[in-house]
Structures are given as C-alpha cells and as structure tokens.
Amino acid sequence: MPAVSVKNLSKDYGKFRAVDGISFSVESGEIFGLLGPNGAGKTTTIKMLTTLLKPTGGSASVSGFDIALQKDGVRKNIGIVFQDPSLDDELTGRENLNFHAILYKMDRKKAEARINEILSLVELTDKADVLVKNYSGGMKRRLEIGRGLLHEPKVLFLDEPTIGLDPQTRRHMWSYIKKLNSTWGTTVILTTHYIEEADYLCGRVAFVDHGKLVALDTPQSLKDKLGGDVLSLSINDGVLAFEKKLKGIRWIKSMSKHDGYLDLTVEEGEKRIPEVILLAGKNGVKISSVSLHKPSLEDVFIHYTGKTIREEEGSWKDTMRSIRASRNR
C-alpha cells in the first residue's frame, strides 16, 4: 500500500482553482518532491494532505487513512515542517521538543529518550538548552525538522524546507534531510521551487504548474526524455522569424522561448553551434551569445510549460493581484 495516494484532488477559492485534479502516489521510504513556482498549488496540496484544508473534490489517503473521513488517523501518522517559522523563540531547543511531546501525549520516559535521540540526529545536543532566539536560521530549521520526527511519524511533510536560507546552509539542510530519511526510513514529501534541491534530494519529482500536475518521474528520467543537449541562444531581434526557419530541421528535437532566449534541444550540441550561427547569419539574425549544456530539470519545466519557474512566479503574482483587485471593486 502506498504511503500517500492522491486521486483527482482539487481545491477552489471562489472562482479560482488552486489545485486542479492532481493524482499521484508515494511509496513508503521515498523522498518525493512537488516542484513548481510559488503559487503553483504545492502548499495547498500539502495542507489538504495534512488535513489543514478541506478538498473541493477528489480524494486522498495518508498511511491508509482518508484525509476527509479519518483526520485523527492521518494526524497521528504525520509530521509537518511548515514554510513559516513555528518555534517558540523564548523556549530552549529541548523545551520546544518537550512541548511537542506533550501535545502528542508521549510517555514521559520515552519522550525524554527520543528528544535526546533527535537532538543528536540534528546535531543540536550542545545547543539543547540555549534559547531558540539565539539559534541561526539553519539551526532553527534543523530543530523544526527534528520536532516533526519526534513522535515517529510514518510520513514527514516539508513545505519549502530551505526557503530563506543562504546557499551553504541550504546544502547542509539537504544532507540532514537525506540522513533523516536513511536513518529512520521515513517517507518524505517536500515542496520546493529550487530546481537543484529537487534534483539532489528526490527519488521522484512531480512538476506542478497552475494547480495541475504536468510531469512526474525520476529527475534523471525527466531529463532523459528531452534527449540530446540544450543550446541557449540570446537573440535581440527576429526570434519568431528565426524559430520558424528552424522548424523541420531533423536534429532539432524541440524549441522553447524564455527570458529573451531561444532554447534548442539538439543532437551533438558542439557540432550544431556553427550550423546554427551560420543559419542565423543567412537570415539576418544576430546571436549575441550561445551556451551549451546537458538538460536540467529547469529545461524540463520549460519544455512542459514554456516558461522558467521564475517567470511563472511573476505570472502568479500578476494573477493574485488581479484576483484581489476584483474583490475590492
């Protein structure tokens, strides 16, 4: 039985559909990622799976418990690390964990042993009796993840676990998440808009865009589906005309435009660079720069949506502004 099963799950806010009929399953012990821009529906999905939001349609189960009909069963079997900080800064690390143990009605002796175990696992034993307000951002995040594991949940939900952290601390957090998963065998479902985070951590990734699930597979399989190399061309004028000229060329597998670039997925990328430049010259198109790289998850996202994650975030912000404006009329 899958640790999490989702079937046609939807969530509406008035006329706005935040999650639009998504379906997927997560196996026990898997690290599964929901990847997409802010506003794609990732956090809304997590909130439904953790019983914090009631679905508009569809169904889902976590550890065999229906999220709508068996909420207590779901809550007993999950841990959650929210996107926003949720620690009490005026308590020590140990006191924060102890408060969590009380909420879950853990046996006192078992809780004490488990707290020591968690503090060691997240490498905070020497800071256990320090007030959390004196912790660094990375230390706080580690404590939150440790707290989510305290009551030995079968599924741990991490909503943007490294948001707001500097790149070095973010990479340290990735190591901790991998370590936690391998040590406890806990199923981990995380949301992120960091491409490299999903690529490093997740056994499988689901791309979410405008509430829809647009692709799902292992990071490597998703990249392999594009095939070949990616040529990124910076073109000042004549992008559309040049794109039309390139259509039908057999060694160009796909094309997409974003951020002023024309991306070509091609065979034998190094060999094709002079051919593309020659074609551009013949058609009066000036290429200001060319870069060549192997397909990344960002390229996969562009392939399925036609935009980068950053562009999608800007689009979402415009949508939300329009929704708020319509409400105020």
- Sequence letter at residue 277: I
Q: 182 and 149 in contact (C-beta within 8 Å)?
A: no
Average pLDDT score over residue span 173-198: 90
State residue 287 phi and psi, 5-degree precision. -95, 120
Q: Which CATH code fits 228-294?
A: 3.30.70.260
The pLDDT value given to residue 311: 60
The pLDDT value given to residue 312: 58
The pLDDT value given to residue 310: 67
The pLDDT value given to residue 54: 96
Chain-centroid distance of CA 154 in Å reads 20
Q: 19 and 48 in contact (C-beta within 8 Å)?
A: yes
Q: How far apart are CA 183 and CA 186, in angstroms?
A: 8
> Which tens digits make up the pLDDT trace of 261-283?
888 988 888 888 999 988 888 88
Instruction: Sketch the domain layout of the chain as residue ranges.
Output: 4-218, 228-294
Distance in angstroms between the alpha carbons of the first and the last residue of the chain = 49
Q: How far apart are CA 280 and CA 278, in angstroms?
A: 5
The pLDDT value given to residue 179: 85
Tokens of 284: 């009066």
Within 8 A by CB and 6+ apart from 65, the residues are 71, 73, 74, 77
- Sequence letter at residue 212: K
Does position 318 have pLDDT exceeding 70, yes or no?
no
Q: Which CATH code fits 4-218?
A: 3.40.50.300
Q: 299 and 318 in contact (C-beta within 8 Å)?
A: no
Q: Do domains 4-218 and 228-294 have the same CATH topology?
A: no
Could you count the other beta carbons within 10 Å of the beta carbon of residue 299?
22
Average pLDDT score over residue span 139-156: 91
Q: How far apart are CA 143 and CA 132, in angstroms?
A: 9
Q: Quick one: pLDDT band at residue 323, thresholds 50, 70, 90?
A: very low
State residue 199 phi and psi, 5-degree precision. -65, -40
The pLDDT value given to residue 166: 86
pTM of the model: 0.81
Q: How far apart are CA 237 and CA 42, in angstroms?
A: 36
